[in-house]
Amino acid sequence: MTPAARPPVDRRMVVEATAWRSRSEAPWRDPPERSGNWKTIFKNVDRWSKGGVWARAAAFPTAIPPRPGRSIGPGRRTDRSRDATADQALRLS
């Protein structure tokens, strides 16, 4: 009989625990219970650091600005110079 494999680590939980630690400046051994085992969190963060994962994530753009004339939310536009006629023409083309 083969030993049971460990379930995979929830990567989001590791990232959230790391963000919590960064904000709280608490030691690695004091994460909230919902974050799981501190050794697992530390092991993954350390491995990701050595592998350059954090550096690549920091280099990734966090927000891509919308193109002019595109909606950025309900009732808001990036380019206020357009009128309703221009918007209708764009939808028809």
Write out pLDDT tens, residues 20-36: 988 888 888 888 888 88
Residues 24 and 38 both lie in one domain: yes
Helix (H, G, I), strand (E, B) or coil at 48: helix
Domain-embedded: residue 51: yes
Cα–Cα separations (whole angstroms), residue 48 to 29, 43, 54, 62: 19, 9, 6, 19
**What integer pLDDT is reported at residue 42 of this predicted model?**
92
The rounded distance, in Å, linking the Cα atoms of 22 and 59 is 18
Write out pLDDT tens, residues 33-73: 888 889 999 999 999 999 999 888 888 766 666 666 555 55
**What integer pLDDT is reported at residue 5 of this predicted model?**
81
| pTM of the entire predicted model | 0.56
Asked if 32 contacts 20 with a C-beta cutoff of 8 angstroms, the reply is yes
Asked if 26 contacts 17 with a C-beta cutoff of 8 angstroms, the reply is no
Binned at pLDDT 50, 70 and 90, residue 84 comes out as low
Q: How many structural domains is the chain composed of?
A: 2
Domain-embedded: residue 32: yes
Residues 53 and 88 both lie in one domain: no
